[in-house]
Structure formats: C-alpha cells, structure tokens
Amino acid sequence: MPSSFDRIALLSDVHGNLTAFRAVLDDIAARGITRVFNLGDTVGKGPRGAECVELSRERCEVHVQGNWEASLTDPERMAAFPHGAWWRDQLPEEQRKWLRDLPHSHDLLMSGKRIRVFHASATSVYHRVFFDHDEAGFLGMFANTEATGDGPAPDVVGYGDIHDPYLESDRHGRTLFNVGSVGNCLADPTPVYVVLEGVPDSTGPAPFAIQFVRVPYDRDSEIAVALASGMPDPEVWEVELRTGVYRAAQRDGGGPRYHRPVTPPRQG
C-alpha cells in the first residue's frame, strides 16, 4: 500500500456494550489503523455507558453526537423517557457535559472526495433514514443544513443510528453508507465497523475504498454483566444481542423494526 494512503475506522452505536467495543478496537489496532471516528450512541441500551465513553475518549479521534447522548442530557426529553434515568445516572456529570457539547457532524477530504459523517441525518440526531429511503431521503443526506453548517456539499456520507449496514451510490458519484452497530447490530448481531482508505487531504482523484468489517466477541460475557447490572429489561437486551431481533419485534412477533415494513404486491 502506498505510504501516502491513510485508513480511518468509522464505528457507531456501541450502546454500552464494552466487550464488543474492546473487540472492535483491538481489531482496528491489529490492522495498524490509528485513526478512529465514533458516530455516536456510545451510551444507552447496554450496561456500561460510562466505561465506553471513557474508552472512546481515549481511542477515538473524532466524536459526533447521537440521539442517546442528546436525549440523556436534555431534561425535557428525559421527563418522557422510560427508564432513561438509569442510563443517565451511570454517567458522571463531567461525561454528561462532554456528551451534551459534541458536534453534529464532521467533514474531511480523502482522495478528492468530500466526506461527511454524522449519527442519523443531515438535519437532526432524531431524524431516522432507513436503508429503503426514497430519492428525496437519499438527496437530503447530502444537503447543508443548520445542523451541518455551510460549506462544500459532500460526495460521500457515512452515518449510524439504524444499526443496519449498507452502501449505495448514484449516477452522479454520490455514495451513502451506514456503518452498522458495534454493540447492538440489527439482524446479524456480530459487531461491524467501516474502514475508509484513500489519500488524506487530497483534492485530486485517487483510489478510494470503503470496507465493512465484522468482529466476533464474547457475547456471553457481556450478557452476564448486563444481567447482574440492575439495568432495565436485561432479558430483552440479551435477546437483542443473541439474535439481532429488537424489543418491539420481540413483543409483536414482527421483523426487525429498523427495517420499515414492505407492502406486499397486490394480487390479481
């Protein structure tokens, strides 16, 4: 690999799953990758949010805010957030302030491509964009908004939030991808992250790669911690970690909820 090339690991949605987070960071280090960007939701759902925040601050170069960070540090949202106080109270006050002040997005240049990363969408950490979005949903991810600020529109956008890794491009050279989830991945519950490879800070075209990496981890060990932690609904969390079937789907027997239901074709 030419020495001018750089690699950046993008990860998201750790959700307090410290064992999975450590496994992913160990894999990143074993590949010789030193730059790591965290796309949010390090906390919530799982039992060890504070430990994951501490580790992320130690190992990740860039952080953006996720919807859990925003919710746990917003008194109005907390008032209507079932069990939210449990996850909030695991975080020291200094960590809460740090999470509250995280930026919405981060821009960089690689191999002539303007790249933007954020947690959920260009407009808000609460605006969810599924893999089966329409054209307007796709184009909206590349827009400059009040949340992203002004500047050159990106050619490549990476995000987290939906726990559901995918990649798509259009005929105008735009690429949108989701990095999946480290701690709570949908469908296949194996942690996943993304590696970007290209020439850093280059305005001219050059080879560019987006690679998805799956990393197995000691799931039983993490589940044992959750069951002993006193966290809300640990048995539901255990099913999510073992099967990738989320709690809403566990209740009603449907499919994974971050996949929007597909309307079946009409007969006749």
- Domain coordinates in residue numbering, the chain: 6-252
Alpha-carbon torsion angle 136, 139, 145, 150, nearest 10: -160
Distance of CA 53 to the CA centre of its chain: 14
Return the beta strands (E) in the chain as ranges.
6-11, 35-38, 62-63, 105-110, 113-118, 156-159, 166-169, 175-178, 192-198, 209-214
Identity of the residue numbered 160: G
Number of alpha carbons in the 13 Å side-chain half-sphere of residue 32? 6
Distance of CA 238 to the CA centre of its chain: 20
For residue 144, what are its two tokens? 């400059």
Sign of CA dihedral 131, 132, 136, 139: positive
Instruction: Using alpha carbons, list the distances in angstroms from residue 244 to 114, 181, 184, 223, 247.
Output: 33, 11, 7, 14, 10
Q: Whole-model pTM? A: 0.93
Report whether CATH 3.30.70.2860 matches the domain 6-252: no
Lowest-confidence segment of 143-157, 194-208, 241-255 by average pLDDT: 241-255
pLDDT in tens, 115-156: 999 999 999 999 999 999 899 999 999 999 999 999 899 999
What's the mean pLDDT in 233-249? 92
Identity of the residue numbered 232: P
Instruction: Using alpha carbons, list the distances in angstroms from residue 39 to 29, 73, 163.
Output: 18, 17, 12
At 253, is the pLDDT very low, low, confident or very high (cuts 50, 70, 90)?
low
At 263, is the pLDDT very low, low, confident or very high (cuts 50, 70, 90)?
very low
The percentage of the chain sitting over the pLDDT mark of 70, rounded to a whole number, equals 93
Q: How far apart are the first and last CA of the chain?
A: 57
Q: For residue 261, is pLDDT > 50?
A: no
Contact 16, 40 (CB under 8 A): no
Measuring CA to CA, which residue among 123, 138, 113, 122 is closest to residue 197? 113
Q: How many CB atoms lie within 10 A of CB 151?
A: 10
Give residue for tokens 């990106």.
154
Query: 3-state DSSP call for residue 162?
Result: coil
231, with CB counted inside 10 A (0-12, 13-18, 19+), is: buried
Tell me, what's the pLDDT at 116?
98
